[in-house]
Structure 1
Amino acid sequence: MKFHEFGDKKNPHIMLIHGGGNAWWNYLRQARALSERYYVILPTMDGHGEEYAIPYVSTEATVDKLMDYINENCDGRLFALCGVSLGGQIVIELLSRKPDLVEKAIIDGSVCYPTPNMAKFCTFTFKLTFKFIFSEKACKRQLALMPKMLPEKMLYPKEMRDYYIQEMPLLPKETMVSVYRTYMYYHLKASLRDTKAQVMYWYGEKEMKCVKKSAQLFQSYVPNCVIYKAQGYNHGYLALYLPDEWLEIACKFFDN
């Protein structure tokens, strides 16, 4: 696991965790904006991006490594944790490990209860379509199609397009198979009820039902959790494509 760091280490620490199949640059624009006030940490999970050669194991194994980093480099505490999709599930597991780990947490579009049928479907579909999605030629085609499919405000800047082309084709098939096998069998831990963090659970209006159900289930464990529905948006749109909107909502939460 590799960590990219932005800002002054004397400032409050924030960790932003990317989703499955993505990498640290998922949150690059948010990190640069937040680094004026915070020390921002962007991990690259095993099996992803520059860490493609290290096998991805599970949500829990990833959190073991993140806890080691936090204990060694952040005195065992952060100001805030944020994660999208798989990254959000990792935030949930982190909250379960230590009640006072963070003051604030944002979980975005994550599943937090077992969905075995969805896991089997996603794994089967992914294996069939892998070379059509993650080859270098496929990634270039996807970037070329983005201006036709997304409004201008949601397009990647050149720097992120370059990272996309460089790192997405490196993703091993085994990484996503392991992600689906573990992400969609995750269940909430009883220790989550002890967290002292203020939490927001985001999801897009067009998300799958299992994500919306996950938000409600999480709130039953953490009653002070605020659920935010991003009107008109699909999975991960705020984190991946709309950093200014992400920052507006997140910073209000951080400052509250």
Structure 2
Amino acid sequence: MEIREYGINNQKNILLVHGGYVSYKTLKIQIEELQKGYHIFVPLLDGHNINDKSELNSIEEEASKILKFFKLKNINKIHCMCGASLGADIIIEILFQKGNFAENAFIESGSLGINKILAIPLIWISKTAMYKGVRGNRYWEKFIEKFLIDIKMPKELCCDTKELLRHMSISTIKNVQKLVCNYKIKENVNLITTKCLVVYSSKEKLYMENPYKKLQETIDMKIVCLEGYNHGQLSIGEPQKQLKMLKEFLV
């Protein structure tokens, strides 16, 4: 796993973790803004680096690699972590592996497991669309185009995303959705001391509301439901709004 750094002369540290099927470039606006006042760390998740042949195996493994990186730098605690979708689940897993690692966490659309019946078609559709949609299948090409439009992804990022998907192995493509659909809350939740802001869309409320309300019983957590938003839309399609929410949260 490669981890890039920005604003290295700033004291407070922020970890930004991108989502599945997209590159770290979806965080470009957040990086440019936050590096003015923070030391930013941005992992290029396994299977999502155009410059290597790594594969995504597990959420737990990604979290462990990130924590190991900080340990080697003698950084035991950071100011904030932010992640969306797969990145959000990795942020949550970091909390389970080291409950006092971050003072704050901004969690967008982390799944915390999905109903098994619903997960089966989700995994199949994602695997098929993300593989065939950039390899000449016209139906799935249109499917991906609509998805990218729905989350308001800028055109330059659409090209980057398609290039990344063409580079991804079928194993990583399948694992992204499989891992987020099957990720579960760990038993050591009571050890988490991080203050959390959880954001998800009204379209995700059906399968996200109850797991987070359960976590809220133990963790210092605020939950915000964005009406009418699509999965990943906030951080990818409306980064300025996400930054505004993050800054207000960190005050």
Same fold, judged at TM 0.5 (above):
yes
Q: Does 1:73 align with 2:65?
A: no
- Paired residue for 1:176? 173
Q: Report % sequence identity.
A: 20
Three-state SS of the structure 2 residue aligned to 1:221 is coil
Deviates more, 1:44-53 or 1:244-253: 44-53
Q: 1:105-124 alignment to 2 at 5 Å?
A: 105-113=105-113, 115-124=115-124
Tell me if 1:220 matches 2:214. no
Say if 2:112 and 2:184, in contact at 8 Å, map to a contact too.
yes
State the distance in 1 between where 2:29 and 2:94 align. 24
Shift in Å, 1:12:
0.8
In structure 2, relative to structure 1, the CA distance for the partners of 1:58 and 1:251 (3 Å cut) is same
| Partner in structure 1 of residue 26 of structure 2 | 26
- CA distance 1:15–1:181, shift in 2 (3 Å): same
Query: What's the CA shift for 1:155?
Result: 4.7
Matched, 1:198 2:195: yes
Cα pair 2:134 2:162 within 8 Å, conserved: no
Q: Which residue of 2 aligns with 1:167?
A: 164
* In the alignment, structure 1 residue 156 sits paired with structure 2 residue 149: no
What is the TM-score when the length of structure 1 is the normalising length? 0.86
For 2:48 and 2:199, the matched residues in 1 are separated by 24
Unaligned runs of 5+ in 1: none
Deviations for 1:24-79, whole angstroms, at most 9, x for unmatched residues?
A: 11211111100000011111111113266112111111111011112123512211
Q: Which residue of 1 aligns with 2:86?
A: 86
The answer (yes or no) to whether the contact 2:127–2:177 under 8 Å persists in 1 is no
Tell me how large the CA RMSD over aligned residues is.
2.7
Could you tell me which amino acid in structure 2 is paired with residue 188 of structure 1? I
1:7 Cα offset (Å): 0.8
Q: Distance in 1 between matches of 2:22 and 2:145?
A: 18
Partner of 1:56: 56
Distance change >3 Å, CA 146–CA 90, structure 1 → 2: closer
User: How many Å apart are 1:241 and its aligned residue?
Assistant: 0.6
Cα distance in 1 for partners of 2:15, 2:74 equals: 11
Q: In 2, are the aligned partners of 1:52 and 1:172 still within 8 Å (CA)?
A: no
Q: Which moved more, 1:124-133 or 1:210-219?
A: 124-133
